[in-house]
Amino acid sequence: MEENNLQCSSVVDGNFEEVPRETAIQFKPPLYRQRYQFVKNLVDQHEPKKVADLGCGDTSLLRLLKVNPCIELLVGVDINEDKLRWRGDSLAPFMGDFLKPRDLNLTIILYHGSVVERDSRLLGFDLITCIELIEHLDSGDLARFPEVVFGYLSPSMIVISTPNSEFNPLFPSVTLRDSDHKFEWTRMEFQTWALYVANRYDYSVEFTGVGEPPAGAENVGYCTQIGIFQKNGGRATEACVSEQHDQHVYKAGLTMFPRLVLIFHPQAVLLPHLPKMLRLQVFTTSYPSLQQERFFKLVLVNEVSQQVESLRVSHLPRRKEQDGEQGDKPKDIGGSKAPVPCFGPVFTEVEKAKIENSPKPFCVGDKFFVPLQRLLAYPRLNRLCANEEMMRSVIADSIPLSSDGSAVVTDLCNYFDEQFEF
């Protein structure tokens, strides 16, 4: 549950409005943000590729994690279908994601279903998060929860957060923090349960938390207690995953990509024997990335064009000084130093040396030539392209090249130069 940034909104039935403002504990940043940031920091540290959030609610954590470059599959599961239906669109790619594609593919999927149901589509994950989830489970579901998450899904890492009931006396008029909570544990109760589960399913566990208590109440511990479980021996083997396949119980049916474009998921046709309730909505979206040929080409062509234009513009003042001195003889315009681009990043000394040692741009008449080897010396282009042949094959049908294909060719002067008196 989320805490208000002015007053704790985790009082039963929202009666926090009756609590005097000066007596309410305030968390800065709000406690729910601290929990999400804790997970994000963990993702930054361990760089998981496949992440699932069980009990994803309004998808706030998924929206925070989707910007992480290491994640390639991000899944949310929740029992509240209305939240998934209305919040799914916020996870779709925006215009900026197309203008600057990710390095790696990213697929985001929302499933409607219970976290205590086995679904093979969540097998083989690197990280599963359960943020403020277990306290909403009744005794039967709580008993099944470890069997499904730890035993069946068995990801490399599991993060579970839950309220620390020892902190509750610091809140005015709080017994349970939410009317839907079935229980709230002390630190000892949570750690006893977590250690038992970890031992049974071959995990190690560390305990921490977020939401520090006020001065003088340090003995109650964090407001939210967190257990970080790591599978002993790392990720489940492919053999283990392949033995438990094709158990699909989460509701499925719709795909979205790009924004506001819907098509029926093929499973709605391939699985006619499933009950109708199991073929309802699922949200799926994919992000553009440099692993996709069309987006890689767009980015590379744009980067090459920008770098060539930067070099061309930086040469114009020197060209006016040299104009008429050498006729149509090729002019080496590199000088003793690498041309300084009109825009772009500042280069390190090592990068500058690499640029200076590469083939220099030159002019023939009113044409400006930039060798591909020169372009590959610039860090951003070098990161995109492994070699000259790769660059040439990608840009050849979009950017003019010299007759031997070794350089980009463009007009030295254009209409805009005359307008702005370069």
Q: Are 163 and 224 in contact (CB under 8 A)?
A: yes
Distance in angstroms (rounded) separating the CA atoms of residues 354 and 371: 14
pLDDT, one tens digit per residue, over 351-367 is 999 999 999 999 998 99
Q: Which segments of 231-283 does DSSP mark as H helices, in order? A: 238-242, 267-270
Q: What pLDDT is stored for residue 173 in this prediction?
A: 74
**Residue carrying structure tokens 């553009």:** 288
pLDDT, one tens digit per residue, over 204-223 is 999 999 999 999 999 999 99
Q: What pLDDT is stored for residue 318 in this prediction?
A: 63
CA 295 to centroid of chain Cα atoms: 18
Q: What pLDDT is stored for residue 178 in this prediction?
A: 87
Q: Which residues contact 364 (CB under 8 A, 6 or more apart)?
A: 328, 330
The ranges of the chain annotated as CATH 3.40.50.150 are 31-231
The ranges of the chain annotated as CATH 1.10.10 are 293-314+348-419
> Which two tokens mark 98?
């197309």
Q: Which residues contact 170 (CB under 8 A, 6 or more apart)?
A: 25, 213, 214, 217, 220
pLDDT by 10-residue block (mean), the chain, 422 residues: 40 38 74 97 98 95 96 95 83 92 96 94 97 97 97 98 94 84 97 98 98 93 97 64 58 46 35 36 87 94 94 76 54 48 71 94 93 95 93 95 96 67 50
CATH class of 293-314+348-419: mainly alpha
Question: In the chain, what are the helix, strand and coil shares in percent, each to the nearest 5?
Answer: 40, 20, 40
> Which two tokens mark 290?
């440099």
Distance in angstroms (rounded) separating the CA atoms of residues 79 and 85: 12
DSSP letters spanning 122-142: GTT-SEEEEET-GGGS-HHHH
Q: What pLDDT is stored for residue 135 in this prediction?
A: 97
Distance in angstroms (rounded) separating the CA atoms of residues 226 and 206: 8
User: 329: how many CB neighbours lie within 10 A of its CB?
Assistant: 10
> Which two tokens mark 75?
């899944």
User: Which three-class secondary structure state does DSSP give residue 294?
Assistant: helix
CATH class of 31-231: alpha beta
User: Which three-class secondary structure state does DSSP give residue 41?
Assistant: helix
